Amino acid sequence: MKDAIFTMVAVLTTSCAAMAEAPGQADYERHCASCHGVEGTGHGPMRAVLTLAPTDLTALSADNGGAFPLERVVKRIDGRDPLVAHGSPMPVYGTFFDYGKGATLEMPGGEKIMTTQPVADLVAYIKGLQAPAQ
C-alpha cells in the first residue's frame, strides 16, 4: 500500500511540475501575445492595427547570427529602446515592468545589464521561444 501511495504522489508531483508556467510566461501571455502571438511568431490578433508588423520573437537569435540579442531585447521591453510601431515607447501597458527588485543579466561577452526581475523573467521566456538552430 505504501508503494502505491508513494507512486501516486510521485506521479502527481511530476504532473504538477509539468503544468507549472515558466518564469515570464504569464506576463508574456498577458502583455505580449496580443501582438506577437502565443507562439511568439508575430501573428497576434493586434497585428493588423500596428504601424509595423510585430517581430517574430522565435527568430531573434537566427536573425542575430545565432546569438540571442539580450541587450536589445531588455532595452526594448523596459523602454530604453522605444519602438514606434506601438505608437509610444514599449511597453504600451505603462510601467508594469518597472516594479520589483532589480536583476542583473550577463551578456555573452561578460558585460552586465541591469533591469527588473519581471523583465529578466520575460526575457528568459522569450529566449526559450527561440527556434532551434538549423
133 within a domain of the structure (yes/no): no
4 within a domain of the structure (yes/no): no
13 within a domain of the structure (yes/no): no
35 within a domain of the structure (yes/no): yes
18 — phi, psi (to 5°)? -70, -30
Say how far apart CA 12 and CA 4 lie, in whole Å.
Answer: 12
Q: pLDDT 10s digit of each residue in the chain, 134 long?
A: 445 444 444 444 444 444 567 889 999 999 999 999 999 999 999 999 888 888 999 999 999 999 999 999 998 888 777 766 555 556 565 566 776 678 999 998 899 999 999 999 999 999 999 988 76
* Helix/strand/coil for 128: helix
Question: What would the grid cell of residue 12 be?
Answer: 502527481
2 within a domain of the structure (yes/no): no
> CB of 70 within 8 A of CB of 105?
yes
**Domain region containing 109:** 22-128
Number of independent structural domains in the chain? 1
